[in-house]
Amino acid sequence: AQSVTQLGSHVSVSEGALVLLRCNYSSSVPPYLFWYVQYPNQGLQLLLKYTTGATLVKGINGFEAEFKKSETSFHLTKPSAHMSDAAEYFCAVSKTGTASKLTFGTGTRLQVTL
């Protein structure tokens, strides 16, 4: 079975500072990994995903994540936070080669301050 652990339910950064949201996964087979963002009263929107190939994945809104198999991690980063980045972020995992069945983490709420 796959699982995801997101370290830190709340993260606060200053505008312009580095954003780092942590995600560790557990999977008995090579995983596919995803980051979604959820703005208040909206559905989830895909930021980026790792399936195969390059381990550094670039997504929308300047976010990127790196798949590190040795560390079972898929941390999300953005060099410079913007006020509009304030939202809930979810890491998710699915099993390679199976039909879509995402297992989500509990989420990290990002707060951006002036």
Partner 1 sequence: EAGVVQSPRYKIIEKKQPVAFWCNPISGHNTLYWYRQNLGQGPELLIRYENEEAVDDSQLPKDRFSAERLKGVDSTLKIQPAELGDSAVYLCASSFDRRTTDTQYFGPGTRLTVL
Footprint of partner 1 (CB under 8 A): 4, 9, 32, 36, 41-46, 49, 51, 90, 92, 94-102, 104-107
Residue pair 70/55 in contact (Cβ under 8 Å)? The answer is no
Which CA distances in Å does 38 have to 46, 71, 91, 101, 110?
A: 9, 26, 11, 19, 11
Choose between 59 and 62: whose C-beta lies nearer to partner 1: 59
> Residue written as tokens 């995903």?
49
Q: From the CB of 80, what's the least distance to partner 1, in Å?
A: 26
Q: From the CB of 48, what's the least distance to partner 1, in Å?
A: 10
Q: Give CA–CA dist 95/111, Å, rounded.
A: 31
Q: From the CB of 18, what's the least distance to partner 1, in Å?
A: 24
Choose between 99 and 114: whose C-beta lies nearer to partner 1: 99
